[in-house]
Structure 1
Amino acid sequence: MDMRRIVAVLAEEAEQQIQDQVWQVAPSESALALEAEAGLLDAVGPPDVQEALPRMKRLEHLRETLAVLAISLARTHGRLAWFLSGALNALEPVLSWRALPADRGGTFGTVLPSPDEYTEAEDAVRRLQDVLAQIGRVSP
């Protein structure tokens, strides 16, 4: 399953839990979700902007999204933490990516991602941005 699909499943589950009132979003969760969304927006911009960047910059931006999600995860518990954990797991392949060729020696298991893989990861981040914005707008 690709990153976009995993994030779509997470998003559907979060939206359903909120709609069914299984997840009663607390004000602190709303605030943290909006903070995380802002961090993701700072890291990954619109497709035309991201695709114009060199691969190294695109990878830097994707790694920044992992940092934003990890810091947010560290600051919460319960359903929002579970959601953020799932988001981090979905984007986990980014951790094994590199932007530089390996002239000599090993690469510690890293791989050069294709342009489509960058796009897939960036699309997944944009979907996460949307869901975090929705979570942030939930009124208790």
Structure 2
Amino acid sequence: MDMRRIVAVLAEEAEQQIEGQVWELAPGDHALALEAEAGLRKAVGPAEDQEALPEIDRLERLRETLAVLAICLARTHGRLAWFLSGAINALEPILRWRALPAGSGGTFGTVRPSLDEYAEAEDAVRQLQDALARLTAE
């Protein structure tokens, strides 16, 4: 399953829980979800902007999204934490990516992603941005 599909499943489950009143965002979680959404939007912009960047900058921004999610995850519990954890898990392949050539020596198991993989990850982040915006609009 690709990152976009995993994020779509997460977003669908979250929306069902909100609509079914299984999950009601507490004020603190609401603020944290807004913070996460803003951080993701700051890190990864529109596709045309991202595609114009050098690969090393694209990877840096994708890693920033993981940092935003991890920091927000560390500050909450319950359903929002579970949602953020699922988002981090979906984006986990980014942790093994590198933008620089290996040169001599090992790469610690990292790989160079294709341009399609960058685009997939960036699309998944945009899906997360949109999901968080919908969750906080309720």
Q: Give the TM-score range, shorter chain.
A: over 0.9
Indicate the larger mover: 22-31 or 114-123. 22-31
Write the mapping of 1:1-140 to structure 2, written as runs, cut at 5 A: 1-138=1-138
Identity value in percent: 77
Runs of at least 4 residues of structure 1 off by over 3 A? Answer: none
Superposition RMSD in Å: 0.6
Distance 1:89 1:123 in 2: 15
DSSP 3-state at the match of 2:4: helix
Deviation at 1:95, TM superposition (A): 0.1
DSSP 3-state at the match of 1:99: coil
DSSP 3-state at the match of 2:57: helix
Distance 2:28 2:102 in 1: 45
Question: Alignment length, in residue pairs?
Answer: 138
Distance 2:19 2:130 in 1: 16
- Whether the aligned pair in 2 keeps the contact of 1:97 and 1:110 (CA below 8 Å) is yes
- Whether the aligned pair in 2 keeps the contact of 1:44 and 1:125 (CA below 8 Å) is yes
Deviation at 1:80, TM superposition (A): 0.3
User: What residue identity is the alignment partner of 1:46?
Assistant: P
- Whether the aligned pair in 2 keeps the contact of 1:23 and 1:79 (CA below 8 Å) is yes
Gaps of 5+ in 2: none
DSSP 3-state at the match of 1:72: helix
Deviation at 1:30, TM superposition (A): 1.0
DSSP 3-state at the match of 2:67: helix
Indicate the larger mover: 23-32 or 53-62. 23-32
